[in-house]
């Protein structure tokens, strides 16, 4: 897997890299739109990974990054302490800045970085965190500090690189799972307290790409975030110590409903309900109650569709077809408004995939891409 990054490094810079690391994309099982509301998420790291091969900068270079990606195959030269470029290379420069803030510094502040990936970009599988986490590990090793950064520290570096430096309004889920993921496990991650728990997950999971990338995604997401802020502002009258919407007690839903007008009421009910569902779902997984777990996936989708209004007709078609075919559970994943759905099926299930393909074909005249995803390992150092 790291081969293409190493080869790209050699071809581009005419020398051998000094350190190579890789980090995975992710799929969130449940806990949708809970992250920025301080609630839990339950992602798995997937088998698709991004690899970063790095080496010292050219002799004479001071504080210069030279970067290349198989996705954008021409070398970009960045003075990373100055203004950040608008291109993808800003993510690498952002990582460099955050490492520097921790006094993790490569010699002369200069490095060459070659990136190769099989995580599709912008498909809701978090290619950006796979990029920043793999680069953070590879560069921190080049810096050769006495104490290597822990996966948690790498997640912090990657998050601040994307959020504070590049300026993406992301939560901390993507970088955390890219760093802490484990094979055959999901990660219960509490986004307010940052507590994590590894939960065994060996079920058969399908990823169905609806093939639509709605433009409204970012504008609708910004609107929802603003609505949630407004909800918290209003609920503070009822509960002054409320900081995160997700910490509103689920037993107090009637009181919440009385306090809020629509559409704020629906948004808030989704977040509070989804918070309870995600925590319960993790418990069910631990107890190997896959059927009940799957039921919660359907409920989560319904709540996303009706209350948070973040689904799409294509995603609804996929989930409905999966349910009719007898799948254990299904829901949109990765914010919604297009993108992908996950479908939980029995190991022996042969009906669900053709049923989804048929229903989708009938409605949209094409078949969606369907693949199996497996819970895989988080960031790791690769051998040269």
Catalytic residue list: 174
Q: Do the beta carbons of residue 192 and residue 279 sit within 8 Å?
A: no
* Shortest Cβ 256–ligand ADP spacing (Å): 31
Pairing of strands 65-69, 111-117: parallel
Q: Is 121 in the site for ligand ADP (CB under 6 A)?
A: yes
Q: Is 115 in the site for ligand ADP (CB under 6 A)?
A: yes
Distance CA 199, CA 186 (A): 5
* Binds ligand ADP by CB under 6 A, chosen from 34, 63, 128, 300: 128
String of contacts with ligand ADP for each residue 75-114, x by CB under 6 A: -------------x--x-----------------------
Q: Is 300 in the site for ligand ADP (CB under 6 A)?
A: no
Q: Is 118 in the site for ligand ADP (CB under 6 A)?
A: no
Burial class (CB in 10 A: 0-12, 13-18, 19+), 105: middle
Name the residue nearer to Mg ion (CB basis): 110 or 210.
210
* Binds ligand ADP by CB under 6 A, chosen from 19, 126, 303, 317: 126
Structure letter (DSSP) for residue 88 = T
String of contacts with ligand ADP for each residue 13-52, x by CB under 6 A: -------------------------------------x--
- Cα distance from N-terminal residue to C-terminal residue, the chain: 11
Q: Do the beta carbons of residue 373 and residue 179 sit within 8 Å?
A: no
* Binds ligand ADP by CB under 6 A, chosen from 1, 72, 105, 196: 72
Q: How many CA atoms lie within 13 A of 348 on its CB side?
A: 0
Distance CA 297, CA 257 (A): 24
Pairing of strands 196-200, 111-117: unpaired
Q: Is 128 in the site for Mg ion (CB under 5 A)?
A: yes
Name the residue nearer to Mg ion (CB basis): 24 or 294.
24
Contact partner, 124, from Mg ion, ligand ADP, none, Cβ < 5-8 Å per class: ligand ADP
* Shortest Cβ 335–ligand ADP spacing (Å): 9
Q: Is 302 in the site for ligand ADP (CB under 6 A)?
A: no
Q: Is 169 in the site for ligand ADP (CB under 6 A)?
A: no
Distance CA 337, CA 327 (A): 22
Size of the site for Mg ion (CB under 5 A): 2
Only segment of 36-44, 120-128, 133-141, 246-254 that touches ligand ADP (CB under 6 A): 120-128
**What does the DSSP assignment read for 232-275?**
HHHHTTT-TT--SGGGS-GGGHHHHHHH--TTHHHHHHHHHHHH
Q: Do the beta carbons of residue 188 and residue 282 sit within 8 Å?
A: yes
Q: Is 124 in the site for ligand ADP (CB under 6 A)?
A: yes
Name the residue nearer to ligand ADP (CB basis): 19 or 51.
51
Cβ count near 207 (within 10 Å): 21
* Shortest Cβ 50–ligand ADP spacing (Å): 5
* Shortest Cβ 59–ligand ADP spacing (Å): 26
Give the pair of three-digit tokens for residue 368. Answer: 């969606």
Distance CA 109, CA 152 (A): 23
Chain residues that interact with ligand ADP, rule: CB under 6 A: 50, 69, 71-72, 88, 91, 115, 117, 121-128, 131
- Footprint of Mg ion (CB under 5 A): 126, 128
């Amino acid at each position: 897997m790291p081969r293409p990054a190493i080869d790209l490094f050699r071809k581009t810079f005419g020398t051998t890299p000094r350190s190579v690391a890789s980090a995975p994309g992710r799929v969130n099982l449940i806990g949708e739109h809970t992250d920025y509301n301080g609630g839990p998420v339950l992602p798995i790291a997937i088998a698709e990974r991004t690899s970063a091969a790095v080496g010292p900068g050219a002799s004479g270079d001071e504080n210069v990054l030279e970067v290349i990606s198989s996705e954008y195959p021409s070398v970009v030269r960045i003075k990373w302490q100055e203004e950040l470029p608008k291109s993808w290379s800003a993510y690498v420069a952002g990582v460099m800045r955050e490492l520097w803030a921790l006094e993790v510094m490569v010699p002369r502040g200069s490095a060459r970085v070659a990136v190769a990936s099989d995580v599709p970009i912008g498909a809701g599988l978090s290619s950006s965190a796979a990029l920043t986490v793999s680069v953070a590990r590879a560069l921190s090793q080049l810096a050769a500090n006495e104490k290597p950064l822990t996966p948690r520290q790498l997640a912090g570096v990657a998050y601040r690189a994307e959020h504070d430096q590049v300026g993406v309004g992301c939560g901390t889920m993507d970088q955390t799972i890219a760093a802490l993921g484990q094979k055959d496990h999901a990660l219960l991650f509490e986004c307010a307290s940052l507590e994590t728990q590894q939960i065994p997950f060996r079920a058969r999971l399908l990823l169905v790409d609806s093939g639509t990338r709605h433009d409204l995604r970012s504008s609708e997401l910004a609107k929802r975030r603003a609505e949630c802020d407004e909800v918290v502002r209003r609920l503070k009258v009822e509960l002054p110590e409320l900081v995160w919407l997700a910490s509103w007690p689920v037993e107090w839903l009637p009181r919440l409903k009385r306090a809020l007008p629509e559409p704020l009421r629906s948004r808030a009910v989704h977040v509070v309900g989804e918070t309870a569902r995600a925590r319960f779902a993790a418990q069910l997984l631990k107890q190997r109650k896959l059927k009940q777990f799957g039921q919660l996936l359907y409920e989560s989708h319904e709540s996303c569709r009706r209350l948070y209004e973040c689904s799409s007709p294509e995603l609804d078609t996929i989930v409905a077809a999966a349910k009719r075919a007898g799948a254990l559970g299904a829901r949109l994943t990765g914010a919604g408004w297009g993108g992908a759905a996950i479908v939980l099926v029995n190991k022996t299930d042969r009906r669900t995939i053709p049923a989804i393909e048929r229903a989708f074909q009938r409605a949209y005249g094409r078949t969606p891409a369907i693949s199996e995803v497996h819970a895989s390992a988080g960031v790791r150092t690769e051998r040269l």
